[in-house]
Amino acid sequence: MPQVELTELTRAELEAALLAEGLERYRAGQIFQWVYRRGITGFAGMTDLPAAQRAALADRFRISTPPVARRDISEDGTEKFLITLQDGRHVESVFIPRTPHQTFCVSTQVGCAMGCAFCLTATMGLLRNLTPGEIVGQVRVLAGALDLRAARFNVVFMGMGEPLHNYDATMAAVRILADDHGFAVHPRRITVSTVGIVPGIERLAAEDVMPRLAVSLHAPTDEQRAALVPVNRKYPIADIIEACRRFPPARRGRITFEYVLLAGVNDAPDDARRLAALVQDLHVKVNLIPLNPAAGIPFERPSDERIDAFGRTLAERGVTVMVRKSRGRDIRAACGQLAVEGMKRSAAQRLADALKP
């Protein structure tokens, strides 16, 4: 019988698997503590389990950890990890210190199907989804490499890929990360970002374990947004806003709208006024993200004066706004800059992927 990859299982799934093997379900909590809090990946080291059980577990389960192919450190302390998956593909993950807490930015897909015009990851197209174990594996690797397993940290699903396009694996990963016996990351310290996959937002609103939600809006009108985010043709702004309005505010806290500022494209005073009108009756925060330029991206960063004026226009209309400071730009670890060389697809392929259901 083939071994089961233990890191793919939530604790409830591991409990069921242990019961099927004739073992006590409470052992799942002990195993979670060893794997996630202590970084133990061999059953022999799990000393509070009986020796006979450890041997039986080693026969039935394996605990895999993805290796780090490259680690780059920015002058501002940001670190980018190139992580090798079992099939030889790679994803990038980022550690952002002092945010004010440590933050791990993880990927949910190899590449991305959304085709956003200003994002380097989009040049790859979608190669495949990550599994729950591969998503959480990035946190395990970063926490171990940075000696932060026992520390308090945030996790943002803002790396490569569209999390709600890989919904089931993303939410399984959220449950594993939030489990009290593992990393115990409170759901309010986990943020799932989406370009506006409305069915995914609606599913997320009904979850028992509910992370924070960030919506990548990037434009105040459908005409502008469709040119930047092709999936807007399927899920227009009005549908996204309505889905956010139905999101239960008592549980999820403030929704964040991400807005990448592109010079001469979506950074005019009228754009700011339209954006303020869109969100005026929602409990939201707007994160303004000046474009992080990259080769092959046909846009420019606005001037500081233009960025400040856009933010002031929002603030004057009662919108909570923050201009996000770019971190890790010198190692291409900033927002929109993650991509794995040698894995790129044509513009036509990217657009076709973005319009798939």
In which band, very low, low, confident or very high, does the pLDDT at 327 lie, cut at 50, 70 and 90?
Answer: low
Beta carbons within 8 Å of 335's beta carbon, 6+ residues apart: 158, 260, 289, 292, 324, 326
155-178 in b/e form (b: 16+ CB < 10 A) is bbbbbbbbbbbbbebbbbbbbbbb
Would you call 12 helix, strand, or coil by DSSP?
A: helix
Q: d(Cα 129, Cα 108) in Å, to the nearest integer?
A: 7
Kindly report, residue by residue over 270-324, the tens digit of the pLDDT: 999 999 999 988 989 999 999 988 777 889 999 999 999 999 999 999 999 999 7
Query: Are 153 and 144 contacting, i.e. CB atoms less than 8 angstroms apart?
Result: no
Check residue 289 and give its pLDDT.
93
pLDDT of residue 98: 81
What average pLDDT does this structure show over 154-160?
95
pLDDT over 90 at 121, yes or no: no
Residue 145 token pair = 């490499």
Of 91-105, 124-138, 234-248, 273-287, the least confident: 91-105
> What residues act catalytically?
92, 335
pLDDT for 175-229, tens place per residue? 999 999 999 999 999 999 999 999 999 999 999 999 999 999 999 999 999 999 9
pLDDT higher than threshold 60 for residue 352: no
Confidence of residue 355 (pLDDT cuts 50, 70, 90): very low
- Is 346's pLDDT higher than 80? no
CATH fit for domain 4-62, picks 1.10.150.530, 3.30.1450.10, 1.10.3720.10, 1.10.10.10:
1.10.150.530
pTM (two decimals): 0.90
- pLDDT score at 305: 95
What pLDDT band is residue 326 in, cutting at 50, 70 and 90?
low
Which residue would you say has higher pLDDT here, 140 or 354? 140
Ranges in the chain annotated CATH 1.10.150.530 = 4-62
User: How high is the pLDDT of residue 179?
Assistant: 98
Mean pLDDT of 25-43: 96
Nearest to 187 by CA among 211, 164, 171: 211
Q: What SS3 class is residue 354? A: helix
What is the share, in percent, of the chain residues with pLDDT greater than 70?
90
Residues of each domain in the chain carrying CATH 3.20.20.70: 68-354
For domain 68-354, the question of CATH label 3.40.50.1220 is answered with no
Query: Closest Cα partner for 171 from 213, 206, 214, 207?
Result: 207
C-alpha 180, offset from chain centre: 21
The beta strand positions in the chain, using DSSP E, are 4-5, 61-62, 68-73, 79-84, 90-96, 102-105, 109-111, 126-129, 153-157, 190-194, 212-216, 255-261, 284-290, 320-323
pLDDT tier at 330, thresholds 50, 70, 90: low
What does pLDDT average to over the chain?
A: 90
Which whole number is the average pLDDT over 37-43? Answer: 95
pLDDT for residue 263 is more than 50: yes
Q: Which tops the pLDDT comparison, 42 or 328?
A: 42
Residues 97-103: what's their mean pLDDT? 83
What angle do the packed helices 304-316 and 269-279 form, to 10 degrees? 30
Most confident of 41-55, 247-261, 283-297: 41-55
The pLDDT of residue 333: 46
Q: How far is CA 255 from CA 27, 90, 212, in A?
A: 37, 31, 7
Residue count (the chain): 357
